Structure 1
Amino acid sequence: MNLYLIRHGESTGNLAGKIQGWENFPLSDLGRRQADLLANYLKEIQLDYIYSSDLVRASDTAKTIAKKKSQSVNEWDKVREVHLGPLQGLSRSEIYERFPETIENSILTSGVVGTETIEELTARCQYVIEQLQRAHKNDHVAIVSHGGFISILLMYLLTGEQWHMLHRPFQIGNTSISHIEWPKNRTKPLIHYINRTGHLDVLTEESANMGLL
């Protein structure tokens, strides 16, 4: 199986500096442009199935990809962002002020009451990988998800149930692509690349030409 983990385009929540979790924020104007560039990049890459979080910022990104490839999107709530309960909709500074325990601990695994627990996240990662390996052993699959969940899923792939005990070093940018492969007759994955965003280089060039950089 070849698996492409893709983060959604910039959302209005990203633009406003809010921690989103399960709250629904649409794509910003830039996010829609990013999704178009992503879709153009993926046009010639084999994708047999496209899955997406059911949150609109991810599903709209996935639909842009699917339209370019004349395919459909399968929405899957198991690849939603981490549920952050009372932290959702707040800025980082607001979270740090109201929940000081998040200063020393990652917002994603803070243990604040009402947020998704480490045990729940571990079970979710295990379920997603098991289902993919069962249904798509020989396929090329894209999943459009979220930065937090993608980074945790990558840690789970590398370290298993100990993922939360180690530093999580991954930077997962908007519309970035991370490519993981399970070669035939092998149970352990190979990571080809993480956080590839070369398809967005044109945005930097456009900004430079407009004198914005």
Structure 2
Amino acid sequence: MSGGETRLYLLRHGETPFHDGNRYCGRTDVPLTEAGEAQARRLAGWAARAGLDAVYSSPLVRAVRTAEPAARAAGLRTHIDDRLIELDFGEAEGLTSRDMARRWPERRAAFERDPVANPLPGGEDPRAAITRAMAVVSDIAKRHRGETVLAVCHSTLLRLVTCALTGIDPADYRREFPVVHNVSGAELVHDDAHDMWRLVAFNPALGTVDHSEAGS
């Protein structure tokens, strides 16, 4: 890696039980499924040869269990950062999109039009989530200038921050990035000289990935 660029792999964790039915999973601390554990092992195989300099993770167990095998394979430790946690989905936690449309048809329709201006009932303001996620990404870019970093987090958070970093209106995150594959997400490069991010790839195939739906 040249000294002028910092590469960040901002990835989603492996499969969890909430993937069955594509249920919204925010702060519920669910484990990986057997398939998710296998995905984490495949990600570790990629990490062993990816030239990683640091590994970060959300504190939720599904992210940690995804990140730790990769960190071990790269000879690194996992840095847990609470700012990488998924959004709190409030009353929508554990529900499917269809469940929400039946329960709150107007609120769900407003969310689908603009999920930033119209967060789910009782849920975290996406603008607050963007602020905390942008702060950790900024810290990573400063600490690991010219290096390659893996950060394991969550579907909605990574889509919001990818939009914010690359000049896309975060209100369009569901339209711009409708699906986030497990153990995949956003490959981003920071131009250290000009303090600018660009998206290199979305949903890169880092080994064999599960093409499940986004879950939020």
Range class of TM-score, shorter chain: 0.7 to 0.9
Aligned with residue 75 of structure 2, among 70, 75, 92: 70
Aligned with residue 170 of structure 2, among 150, 160, 163: 163
Distance 1:13 1:167 in 2: 19
Aligned ranges for residues 45-194 of structure 1 at < 5 Å? 45-100=50-105, 101-106=107-112, 109=116, 110-159=118-167, 162-164=169-171, 168-170=175-177, 171-194=179-202
SS in 1 for 2:19: helix
**Bigger Cα displacement from structure 2, 133-142 vs 7-16:** 133-142
Deviation of 1:108 after TM superposition, in Å, equals 5.3
**Bigger Cα displacement from structure 2, 139-148 vs 99-108:** 99-108
Aligned with residue 204 of structure 2, among 184, 187, 196: 196
RMSD (CA atoms): 2.3
User: 2:160 touches 2:173 (CA, 8 Å); kept in 1?
Assistant: no
Distance 1:12 1:52 in 2: 20
Query: Rg larger in 1 or in 2?
Result: 1
2:13 aligns with 8
Count residues with an aligned counterpart. 202
SS in 2 for 1:153: helix
4+ residue segments displaced more than 6 Å: none
Identical counterparts, % of pairs: 24
Distance 1:190 1:92 in 2: 31
TM-score (norm 2): 0.84
Deviation of 1:190 after TM superposition, in Å, equals 2.6
Greater fraction helix: 1
Deviation of 1:198 after TM superposition, in Å, equals 5.1
Deviations 1:109-141 (A, max 9, x none): 432342111331232233123222332223211
AA partner of residue 60 (structure 1): R
Distance 1:177 1:52 in 2: 14
AA partner of residue 122 (structure 1): I
